[in-house]
């Protein structure tokens, strides 16, 4: 949950972060309003160095919009009251478009001739349409759903597990934009409901890239004429699209994955 003073952290960031001072000021004023309302005190309002608070790591502005007094004791306590914390997270998901009864996703097996360019954020299809392309659940069944926004994701590239994810997965990403975070939340929910482990093996040599290395990937892609978007050391949709373009130009599997192997190739070709 974090044990730092949220007000102190936000005040410090508002003073020293020249990139986003207004963001931190707004969050600081939101935190003070929460204290003024009686939901927390300066002492009990603890969180991370960036001001994320309580069990569910709400920023103060998110707390103001979505926090819930689940037990009716007059306070929205996401620090020491698990009921309030869980209900607040559920309220956030509902407001963000969560569809009750729709699975977040399922692990799937792709056919050998699967077109990896279809595993992209802008490619959505119904479950039936994906099944017609040879996509099959690794275990069990995928609930039939006429929503046209089901997508294939390859979190570890073509050599790792594949997942067919719904619009509810995008809602999890609104909570935290990191794909591993959203995938972990969805899989944990499945395990709590009695589901099994992920069947496919994860590549043991794919250790992930540091923020500096991701920045190197983005700069190299830009140097090759593939626009990764802002050089922000974040692997988003535009960076993945740029990786696919680079891979296709070199007749590599276009999985859009920022791997150590990709970084080494970019460095060898660009000498970065």
* Residue 194 scores a pLDDT above 90: yes
The Cα–Cα gap between 266 and 21 comes to 35
The string of pLDDT tens digits covering residues 200-246 is 999 888 888 999 999 999 999 999 999 999 999 989 889 999 999 99
Strands, E assignment, 87-210: 105-109, 136-137, 151-153, 162-165
The DSSP bridge partners found for residue 76 are none
Reported as a pLDDT band with limits 50, 70 and 90, residue 271 is low
pLDDT band at 272 (very low <50, low <70, confident <90, very high): low
Burial class (CB in 10 A: 0-12, 13-18, 19+), 140: exposed
State the residue for tokens 């207004």: 22
Q: What is the set of domains in the chain, with CATH numbers?
A: 4-95 (1.10.8.350), 105-192 (no CATH), 211-270 (1.10.101)
Reading the block at residue 100, the tokens are: 């009750």
Question: Which of the four pLDDT bands, split at 50, 70 and 90, describes residue 122?
Answer: confident
- Name the token pair of 245: 């373009």
pLDDT digits (tens, 9 = 90+) for 54-77: 999 999 999 999 999 999 999 999
- What average pLDDT is seen over the chain? 94
List all residues 6 or more positions away from 134 whose beta carbon is below 8 Å from its beta carbon: 110, 111, 113, 114
Tokens for 129? 């349409």
Percent of the chain with pLDDT over 70: 99
- Contact between residue 143 and residue 190 where contact means Cβ atoms under 8 Å apart: no
So what's the pLDDT on residue 145? 84
């Amino acid at each position: 949950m974090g044990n730092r003073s949220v007000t102190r952290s936000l005040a410090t960031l508002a003073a020293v972060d020249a990139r986003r001072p207004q963001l931190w000021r707004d969050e600081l004023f939101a935190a003070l309003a929460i204290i003024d309302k009686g939901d927390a005190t300066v002492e009990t309002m603890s969180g991370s160095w960036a001001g994320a608070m309580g069990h569910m790591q709400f920023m103060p502005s998110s707390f103001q919009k979505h926090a819930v007094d689940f037990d009716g004791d007059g306070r929205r306590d996401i620090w020491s009251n698990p009921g309030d914390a869980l209900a607040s997270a559920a309220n956030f998901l509902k407001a963000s478009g969560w569809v009750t009864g729709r699975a977040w996703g399922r692990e799937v097996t792709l056919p050998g001739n699967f077109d990896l360019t279809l595993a992209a954020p802008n490619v959505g299809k119904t479950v039936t349409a994906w099944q017609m392309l040879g996509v099959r659940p690794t275990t069990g069944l995928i609930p039939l759903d006429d929503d046209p926004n089901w997508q294939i994701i390859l979190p570890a590239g073509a050599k790792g597990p594949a997942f067919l994810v719904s619009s509810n997965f995008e809602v999890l990403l609104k909570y935290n934009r990191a794909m591993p975070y959203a995938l972990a939340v969805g899989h944990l929910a499945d395990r709590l409901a009695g589901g099994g482990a992920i069947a496919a093996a994860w590549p043991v040599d794919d250790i992930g890239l540091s923020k500096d290395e991701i920045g190197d990937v983005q700069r190299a892609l830009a140097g090759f004429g593939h626009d990764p978007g802002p050089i922000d050391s974040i692997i988003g949709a535009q960076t993945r699209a740029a990786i696919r373009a680079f891979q296709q130009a070199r007749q590599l599997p276009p999985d859009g994955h920022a791997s150590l192997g990709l970084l080494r190739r970019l460095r060898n070709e660009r000498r970065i």
